[in-house]
Structure 1
């Protein structure tokens, strides 16, 4: 799941550290694609510091949500539908339609949460702003991330740009998908392909919005267990 979908499960949580923890794995991957951190394997390192313990709580929530989401019937069913819609668009490119469908589904779930007023994006950013840098620095150091300058530069930009607000428009989702593809493949989608992608995302949204809350309700139940 993407940032706002992860936030949905802790939208009522007033602890900024937990909220940061729920999106921290993806923030790190976006900033440092080769970083592989496993704080959940060394929980003793964070004991005794409430901020770090709560960051770890959020981190583990993130892992649990992704595990439930990626193994769900909903995920397989919806990505299969979207894959067939976008397959012709990327036919003569190195871009894998299955990859695009996977990320496209996640971004559209964020879009629908915003559109249906189920989360407050500015509130999400307020939590990230409220984090004490020294607590996050200590947490990352205990995770084994020594040079943190690149990460914090990315985080500052992520917060100041409030980029996730752009997911209110589906054409912005197409451009976001194109940028993600550019990290993996040298070839980008043309303007015509982007327009076609936006059209198919709109078509898929009509299907998705009928029952998209099912997956959130399903995961919420599993998190309680």
Structure 2
């Protein structure tokens, strides 16, 4: 799952919703930092309900990802989209097509859910805007393998980016995908990649309920 699919059901508890984003935030801020699940489990009993909620959101993310990646729909769409990526990137026989197949399923699921209920995206952004970055930073640093002083800066910048709104337009989505490519040190995607996005959107949207149903 991606950010919106993880957090959309917890918008009445902004710190929990923020917690569901933490494992993905780690991939952006520093891929070497990992969540310590046992520490997160302990922190859900913290006397500060905000800190406890962040820890709960982190555990929710891990739980949801575990079953999501076992669904038949995810496995089949992952293979299908990886094959489509290989067609448009025929010279690429490395890891990039399978990486893209994986993240496209998750990103396009977010896009489908946002298209179904755009007001929920506004509520998601409002939830992230309402949290205290220092509280969330403290919670994250208590449950990760290494603390970081960058969280109080990263969290409001992430919220200000509002990149989930770009998922509805193919050209903007391609630009966002190329930011991911740069971050993971892969070659940028060509304009020809745009051709696979409309059918990929349809394929994922058609199976969104299957993707959201635990096996």
Instruction: Return the TM-score normalized by structure 1.
Output: 0.84
Residue 205 of structure 2 is aligned with which of 206, 209, 216?
209
Tell me what 1:146 maps to.
147
Task: Name which of structure 1's ranges 85-94 and 14-23 shifts more when overlaid on structure 2.
Answer: 85-94
Identify if the C-alpha distance between structure 1 residues 112 and 83 changes in structure 2 by more than 3 Å, giving closer, same or farther: same
Identify if the C-alpha distance between structure 1 residues 39 and 131 changes in structure 2 by more than 3 Å, giving closer, same or farther: farther
Structure 1: distance between partners of 2:122 and 2:38: 29
Return 5+ residue gaps in structure 1 as ranges. Answer: none
Structure 1: distance between partners of 2:197 and 2:98: 14
CA contact (8 A) 1:21 1:58 kept: yes
Structure 2: distance between partners of 1:133 and 1:204: 35
Tell me what 1:87 maps to.
86
CA contact (8 A) 1:85 1:200 kept: yes
Structure 1: distance between partners of 2:114 and 2:129: 20
- The within-5 A match list for 1:1-225 is 1-10=1-10, 13-41=11-39, 43-45=41-43, 47=45, 48-93=47-92, 94=94, 96-117=96-117, 120-144=120-144, 145-149=146-150, 151-189=151-189, 193-194=190-191, 196-216=192-212, 218-219=213-214
Corresponding residue SS for 1:187: coil
Task: Name which of structure 1's ranges 38-47 and 155-164 shifts more when overlaid on structure 2.
Answer: 38-47
Structure 1 residue ranges, 4+ long, deviating more than 6 angstroms after superposition: none
Structure 2: distance between partners of 1:43 and 1:205: 36
Structure 1: distance between partners of 2:118 and 2:207: 14
Return 5+ residue gaps in structure 2 as ranges. Answer: none
Structure 2: distance between partners of 1:56 and 1:179: 28
Task: Name which of structure 1's ranges 206-215 and 102-111 shifts more when overlaid on structure 2.
Answer: 206-215
Structure 2: distance between partners of 1:132 and 1:164: 21
Structure 1: distance between partners of 2:133 and 2:173: 30
CA contact (8 A) 1:113 1:119 kept: no
Structure 1: distance between partners of 2:201 and 2:68: 18
Cα deviation per residue 1:47-72 (whole Å; 9 max; x = unaligned)?
Answer: 32211111111111100111111111
Computed over aligned residues only, the root mean square deviation of the Cα atoms, in angstroms, reads 2.1
Corresponding residue SS for 1:209: helix
